[in-house]
Amino acid sequence: MEFRRLGKSGLQVSVLSFGAWVTFSNQLDIPAALEIMAAAYDRGCNFFDNAEVYAHGQAETIMGAVLQKAGWRRDSYIVSSKVFGGALKDPSPLQRGLSRKHIYDAAYQAIERMQCDYLDLYFCHRPDPKVPMEEIVRTMTELIHRGDVLYWGTSEWSAQELMEAYAVARQYNLIPPTMEQPQYNMFHRYRFENEYERLYHVDTLGLGTTIWSPLASGLLTGKYNHGIPDESRVNLPGYEWLKEMFMSAEGQARLEKVKQLAEVAQELGTTMPKLALAWCIKNPNVSTVITGASKVSQVEENFSALDVVPLLTSEVMEKIEGILNNKHSKLIGAS
């Protein structure tokens, strides 16, 4: 396993991590989740990502049970939660958003669900224009001072919002965000590579990143090249949006590119998922790539992507760029 600093912080995070979104509760119960998390942990994974909104809190409950059953030392892994959407199916205004009250309530509820004494990472899951930035930054700073959170960050915030948070922190002697959790993959690039470009430097934010959807919701696995398999999560209730995305004109165009990328993977003697993950790891501004899995075999394949990174020479990267042709495209890469 390779470990990278989370931005300019001193925290060393495994470059491949594991997230609970989609699978926990929806597809995995506690015994299955334990088997899969153990497979990741045994391969060097030290970061497990979660959020209050995942399965309405059940994902955190399952992860907490797994961590208790696994018996791993608390100083050997990192856990996260995210606050914004609320854990209830129909939250009231007090039970969602980034008010001081909900940030506090959600933090302690996540700590209780995951049966831990503190959160290593705590993210503002989305920006909240209804709450003053000073209130958000000050509340996160208070949680860190109390020892209930070690690092705070954001998810899918714009560069402008991140700079505002940083400016507020400096103005009032508060703690700025350490990390951002953006979507990043071969088809979703603009924000990570262009909008955030200056924020990675230590003279600005020194921003760390915990990227999500490295396989573009499964599109980059290649398993949709010839239709949608029956066992795919695309067929799960609530994922109609994903099926529509795959069946759209843009989705079909991307599938054609995946078929070309699969040929590159074959030339390298690897698989499409491992090529897509290695491509993300290749970017030095990626602190960690959050992977997901519903089977141990998927964990094994995902984590062996580390072996593919050295194969991505400048010539191979140029060939991939020629297929993608979206390096600076807001239409394809922006959220």
- Residues acting as catalytic residues: 54
Phi, psi at 50, each rounded to 5°: -150, 180
Q: State the Cα–Cα distance between residues 22 and 155, nearest whole angstrom.
A: 17
Q: Yes or no: say if 280 and 214 are a contact pair by the CB < 8 Å rule.
A: yes
Other C-beta atoms closer than 10 Å to the C-beta of 38 total 17
Angle between helices 249-268 and 272-282 (to 10 degrees): 90
Q: What is the b/e burial string over 302-332, where b = at least 16 CB atoms within 10 angstroms of the residue's CB?
A: bbbbbebbeebeeebeebbeebbebeeeeeb
DSSP 8-state assignment for residue 212: B
Q: Helices (H), strands (E): how many in the chain? A: 12, 10
What are the Cα distances from residue 146, in Å, to 6, 10, 48, 178? Answer: 21, 19, 22, 17
At 290, is the secondary structure helix, strand, or coil?
Answer: strand
Q: State the Cα–Cα distance between residues 166 and 178, nearest whole angstrom.
A: 10
Q: State the Cα–Cα distance between residues 334 and 182, nearest whole angstrom.
A: 11
